[in-house]
A = this chain, B = another copy of it.
């Protein structure tokens, strides 16, 4: 009810402020009998963690997950999987200077207005630090989805005005991890990296788009009418910090195409039904149709920029403010595993929900 849980059967609840002792989560509804591949989970965390390259924040966090429950001798028990990731960085900076100021385009003001109190050490609960718990749950979900041959691949398809003008089918998704920006086209990646270094030198920040492709989903996932698969994906993606938009299939970009141009014609071949085109993005009437699911998530620039800005303080006075510390100039490279994690959580939840719909 207070918004810290997502999912109906495979459920993730997260807790933790960015500069508290730890960030954690509880995964409830993970099927029993799953082999937990700890090194895979850590690898996913490493894709999200700070300090992995010069285009993301140089802040260091080991981001080691400690599982507290729900796993016995390497297998899930069917009981809730509690876990924490210690915030090792929480005492290294003095955040008292943030105590009374509302940083522009941050959540300081809205939390204060909502709750009458806030943890002013960094973003508190509104910090992107919270997404570390999502990546843990997403990694567990991926381990289950693997059993169903479902794969999820996100990549950076736009940063600022540098855009990857290719359909995902023209790309080799196995190249995504081959560069620090996580764009599978190396030449575009190079331009993105150059731009990010330039933005960094200007003490500014920049946004972009993460695209994501899900392969191997059988027909039938998604619930009419409100919990359409696309609706739940939209919610999951917009719940990520700084996300500003979501579209799937033909999306915003193909609005000029008419019905005759974007209807996906069914074709039967060797007993298998598929569609010739896939403007539907693998989802029709809110339910997967067996084709690839693909969608995009728009992210705004990081609000923290190392410049002096005008703002307002807790007393309602106009003040000036300049942030300290080390910050991302662009969340996109680190957002890729978070987008994938949220997709994994939604897909597994719907996969489990779908087990109950027929006699």
Contact = CB atoms under 8 A, between A and B. Distances in A.
Interface core residue of A158, A223, A244, A265 (most chain B CB under 10 Å): A244
A72 B239 CA distance: 24
Interface stretch (A38-46, A47-55, A181-189, A227-235): A227-235
A271 B312 CA distance: 11
A312 B124 CA distance: 52
Copy tally for this chain in the complex stands at: 4
A356 B4 contact: no
B160 A239 contact: no
A275 B199 CA distance: 25
A31 B267 contact: no
8 contacts: A3-B223, A24-B69, A34-B359, A77-B124, A105-B262, A105-B284, A113-B287, A114-B357
A185 to B, nearest CB: 18
Interface string A113-135: 11111110001111000100000
Interface string A236-259: 111101011111111110111111
Given A2-B9, A32-B357, A268-B318, 8 more contacts: A2-B29, A4-B224, A75-B117, A79-B224, A105-B280, A115-B357, A205-B258, A266-B312
Contacts of A258: 160, 199, 202, 204-206, 301
Interface stretch (A11-19, A56-64, A165-173): A11-19
A33 B118 CA distance: 10
Contact of A15 (B68, B206, B247): B68
Contacts of A17: 69-70, 72, 77, 79
Interface residues of A, number: 156
Contacts of A164: none
Contacts of A6: 226
Given A245-B247, A259-B206, A301-B258, A357 B220 contact: no
A303 interface: yes
Contact of A4 (B33, B226, B260): B226
Nearest to A266: B312
Interface string A303-347: 111010111100011100000000000000000000000000000
Contacts of A318: 267-268
B119 A72 contact: yes
A22 B115 contact: no
Contacts of A26: 4, 13, 15, 26
Interface string A84-124: 10000000000000000010111101110111111100011
Q: Which 5 A-B pairs have the closest CB atoms?
A: A107-B285, A245-B247, A3-B223, A3-B227, A205-B259
